[in-house]
Chains A and B, each alone.
Chain A
Amino acid sequence: MSRKHAIQVQVNGEVHDALVAPRLLLADLLREELDLTGTHLGCEHGVCGACTVLVDGRPVRACLMFAVQADGCDIQTVEGLARDTELHPVQQAFNDNHGMQCGFCTPGFLISTVALLEANPEPTEDEVLDMLGGHLCRCTGYQNIVASVRQAAVDLRREGSQA
């Protein structure tokens, strides 16, 4: 067994030191070592998108990245989205529009939506579908997810204009 590597990651604002095997997936670091089980594994080959997290602000499949590659990175997971007692506007939009059923794929959709709307506050329909096309959901048929993203875009713009 190859030796372990010392890494440091910042996750949802908290700094963690960890000793990890080279083959440990970032998803397993988050879930098994840091007990952040909101990042879900649906396929472990990078298609379903459930394990998407933000690494230095960019959406990444945590099942396709090794923990050692995240050394020194700033990571945001679904657990870091809510603002104290209040849901993040993207989370609230998914509740308002019934954009989730079983909730297993939802963390990935939330993270990618946050990333899209931060980079592009007024996405076109095609841009929204292009982003959503990188995620699989088996429950909702997507219609209410699309509606959720649309509402979140409006709400975040409104919030931005008030700030």
Chain B
Amino acid sequence: MTAARPKYVGNAVKRREDARLLRGRGRFVADIKLPGMVYMALVRSPMAHARITGIDTSRALAQRGVLAAISYDDIRGEVEPLPLAERGEVLGDTDVPADHVTAQQSTAIGPIACIDLMPDSTAVLQTVLADGKVRYVGEPVVAVVATDPYLAEDALELVDVDYEPLEPVVDLLAAAGDGAPLLYDELGTNVFTTVRQEVGDVDAAFAAADRTYAETFRIHRYAPVPMETRGVVADADPVDRRVTLYSSTQFPHLARGFLASSLSIPESRIRVVAPDVGGGFGAKCEFYPEEVLAPLLSLRLGRPVKWIEDRREHMISSTHAREQIHEIEAAVDADGMVTAVRARSHTNNGAAASTLAITPTSIFSAMLRGPYRIPHYRVEAKAVFTNKTPLAVYRGAGHPQAAFCMERMMDIIARDLGVDRAEFRRRNMLTSAELPSDRGTEIVLAGKVVYDSGDYPRCLDMALELMDYEGFQREQEAARAQGRHLGLGICAYVEETAIGPYETATVRVDAAGKVTVITGSCPQGQGHVTAFSQLVADEFEIDLEDVTVLYGDTDVVADGVGTFASRSGAIGGAAARQAASKVRMKAMELAAHILEIDPGDLEWTDGGASVKGVPGRRLTLGELATRATAWNTDLPEGMSFNLDETHHHQAPGIAFGNATHIAVVEVDVRTGKVDILRYGVVHDCGTVINPLIVDGQVHGGVVQGLGGTMLEELVYDDEGQPLSTSFADYLLPTAAEVPHIVTQHLEIPTPLNPYGMKGAGEGGAVGSPGALVNAIDDALSPLGVRLTTDGPYSPSRVLELIDAARNGR
């Protein structure tokens, strides 16, 4: 049989999903309007840490149009704590020991699940409304429902909540230390998880080192901030206890499971729909209190309940990201090889263990070494509660922090050794001959870190050439002679992508030969429809327009996992293409039966089965689909009706993408302004399905990392009050601040995927903080500036750093 002729995969196919959105005909959660719909609004805590001494909703309930006002006391019996055993099963994680599960249940005090717990963690779960105590500004305390969204907001001001302030704990290291105020008294500590990685003999390597280095790196708090805020519409039938939940979620099937557990309703009676979702980036890879409250209130009221987060709410109640402190030591031998790294890390998880609370800590701890050999390695990483908004994943999860720290360290060591930083990196990088490489570490929910494929030194060298590294050094010298401060920064990284455990797809063909793909991966703008259409159209050798892709509705898509961890193209795409391949095989078998010919004498061409060497003797996909129906019963012995197959693609391991980013900046030392002059990315995501889409992902990721590095910061005062709650205070990059990004693809297929695909969604955001900060550091190094924070590098902060260096501080 001849292989499908390449047609769409690998080409810059324009997106099929655009036309509808361009015409304003998208359907986002906020666009949904149902008969009898009423509106929820939330009274949120104005205090970071306080005991609730009284809640009085009577004034609100007396208002015209107000239908309900509930606190946790009103629903305590109605929402169940989520048993952790079930949560483990949601992601197929069977490694949770039974005694551990029991221990967890005893501390469970609410229904919002944390699914990435480590075995030795002492988790507490979020309640959907505050239970006796508030732990961050923005925590939901009372839910109000009214007939009009304006009236619901009015009613919030009529809810009286009395608070008795408690001492807030905001500082990360203080929270982890002895004697800090406790968020959860029953735990006896704010440190709820410690992740450990141990590889080789670290102490011996340090003892034998020629030189050692120690640095403390601080990563600030910023957030995904999708342009669409979160939102839900719940439409429940209180008689049958059936619930439909429209939610701006990245994982409708997981949300269905969480909601089922929380409301004690069977999953089969819950339908979760993720309609058009306006960006996620991790912020919607969480199960949130509102996703329980709206269904609960809809069940009580017998009317659809809608809640749309406003931007201020988003800034205080959707998950934050990144904030960590890392004390990192490195040992280097006489040959300039980094022999060992050890790190003590802390993550500021805020006030609750959110759905993916541990992942940033876990990924950091497992991936800090990036592409470098570093045979001896130890990390102890603690996840810590503070009175800030809960923290979880954001594009790259722990990878941007890891890449930033490692790549800063590489520059610091190379400079100290007087070795060219590119050469120093090359010397320490794993070569392609050393792959696969078992790194001896493990990522929670994803599995063992075994680098599968890639050519890290080649990727580095391509980036150096792309950005004219040699030429830059002359340019920098010339500029310095004129008193101008140019800098170049390199950031090489390896990234966990394409994680399992699986994704599912169904492919079916109708009598007209048109193909429907039903996928468990749902998009938030990534272009799944186009990419999956390309894969399936190529399998059948049919037009892209003949493929329809359905997603995001758990009543349509029986099973699925979701979109996160750069997994959809590789895992969802493989599932779709393999399901299509199964259908095609069945169609071939049927064709051979109908034509009474040996299957070996058939070939698949242009959407049909053709007899080899006999032009025109063929059956098209549509003809075969028609013949396969129950009404045309001449099927081969044992063949089931219909051209319809479901495939679960199970990933045999994590596929690791990699890249090198290079940034060139100029710093004006009088104003502190940083101009990003040039930016280049060479990356390896394996087989590229659609370069237009992949480049778009890289651009978007780079600029999100740039935003965090140059502009964005979630600032808190000492009392735990958030100070960045609007776009006037929280600055996002605009078109005027971003460089032109040059990209090159190095396509090294992974053996872990039948089509060689690794992930591309997050990498841009992984590389840009390290590249930009290294570039700024390079520019300012003649002034004695040495950077150990990831930003944001506002002009005033840059000036402070320059002044401090000049004054010897």
Contacts and interface: CB of A to CB of B under 8 A. Distances in A.
Contacts of A36: 24
Contact of A79 (B24, B278, B281, B736): B24
A102 B22 CA distance: 11
A78 B20 CA distance: 11
A38 B227 CA distance: 14
Contact of A133 (B150, B703, B735): B735
Nearest to A102: B525
Interface stretch (A45-53, A54-62, A65-73): A45-53
A104 B740 contact: no
A145 B735 contact: yes
Contact of B150 (A23, A129, A138, A141): A23
A42 B23 contact: no
Contacts of A38: 23-26
B738 to A, nearest CB: 5
Nearest to B23: A82
A14 interface: no
B30 A138 contact: no
Contacts of B31: 31, 37
Interface string B680-717: 00000000000011011001111110000000000000
A103 to B, nearest CB: 3
B734 A95 contact: no
Contact of A87 (B19, B735, B736, B740): B19
Interface residues of B, number: 57
A94 B735 contact: no
Nearest to A144: B696
A47 B150 CA distance: 21
Given A36-B24, A40-B30, A102-B227, A21 B735 contact: no
Contacts of B226: 102, 104, 138
A101 to B, nearest CB: 4
A145 B227 CA distance: 16
A67 to B, nearest CB: 12
A43 B18 contact: no
A163 to B, nearest CB: 23
Interface stretch (B383-391, B634-642, B725-733): B725-733
A115 interface: no
B24 A37 contact: yes
B683 to A, nearest CB: 14
A40 B726 contact: no
Given A45-B727, A137-B227, A98 B735 contact: no
A147 B23 CA distance: 19
Interface in B13-34: 14-15, 17-19, 21-28, 30-31, 33
A47 B727 CA distance: 6
A101 B525 contact: yes
Contacts of B726: 43, 45, 47
A96 interface: yes
Contacts of B227: 40, 42, 48, 50, 102, 104-105, 136-139
Chain A interface extent, by class: 35 or more
A132 to B, nearest CB: 4
A110 B381 CA distance: 46
A140 B695 CA distance: 9
Interface string A101-121: 111111100100000000000
Contact of A45 (B225, B311, B693, B738): B311
Given A103-B276, A106-B21, A132 B734 contact: yes
B526 interface: yes
Contacts of B33: 32, 35
Nearest to A149: B735
Given A141-B702, A143-B738, A101 B24 contact: no
B438 interface: no
Is chain B's interface secondary structure helix, strand, loop, or mixed overall?
loop
B285 to A, nearest CB: 15
A131 to B, nearest CB: 9
A95 B700 contact: no
B696 A101 contact: yes
A41 B18 CA distance: 19
A64 interface: no
A102 B250 CA distance: 13
B181 interface: no
Given A95-B19, A139-B700, A40 B738 contact: no
A126 to B, nearest CB: 9
Given A48-B727, A102-B279, A42 B24 contact: no
B354 interface: no
Nearest to A106: B21
A94 B22 contact: yes
B111 interface: no
Contacts of A138: 224-227, 279, 281, 700, 704, 732
A23 B17 CA distance: 36
Nearest to A110: B22
Interface in B234-278: 276-278
A139 B692 contact: no
B311 A42 contact: yes
A139 B734 contact: no
A19 to B, nearest CB: 14
Given A50-B227, A103-B278, A136 B21 contact: no
Considering residues A1, A40, A48, A102, which has the most beta carbons from chain B within 10 angstroms of its beta carbon? Answer: A102
Given A95-B14, A95-B15, A140 B22 contact: no
A135 B734 contact: yes
B736 A130 contact: yes
A125 B556 CA distance: 46
Given A132-B734, A136-B732, A138-B225, A98 B24 contact: no
Contacts of A1: 64
Contacts of A130: 736
A100 B524 CA distance: 12
A106 B28 contact: no
B527 interface: yes
Contact of A100 (B21, B738, B741): B21
Contacts of B546: none
B706 to A, nearest CB: 8
A21 B150 contact: yes
Contacts of A107: 24
A112 to B, nearest CB: 11
Contacts of B30: 31, 37, 40-41
Contact of A146 (B18, B695, B735): B735
B465 interface: no
A73 B24 CA distance: 21
A88 to B, nearest CB: 8
B693 to A, nearest CB: 7
Contact of B22 (A24, A41, A106, A141): A106
Contacts of B18: 94-95, 100, 103
Interface in B655-671: none
B736 A132 contact: yes
Interface of B: 14-15, 17-19, 21-28, 30-31, 33, 64, 150, 224-229, 276-279, 281, 310-311, 524-527, 692-693, 695-696, 699-704, 726-728, 732-736, 738, 740-741, 764
11 contacts: A31-B31, A35-B33, A47-B726, A91-B22, A98-B14, A103-B18, A103-B22, A104-B279, A138-B227, A141-B738, A142-B735
Given A91-B22, A104-B525, A139-B696, 11 more contacts: A42-B311, A45-B311, A45-B728, A98-B696, A102-B226, A102-B279, A104-B226, A136-B732, A139-B227, A141-B701, A145-B735
Q: Which 5 A-B pairs have the closest CB atoms?
A: A38-B24, A102-B525, A104-B278, A103-B21, A141-B699
Interface of A: 1, 21, 23-24, 31-32, 35-45, 47-48, 50, 77-79, 81-82, 87, 91, 94-96, 98, 100-107, 110, 128-130, 132-146
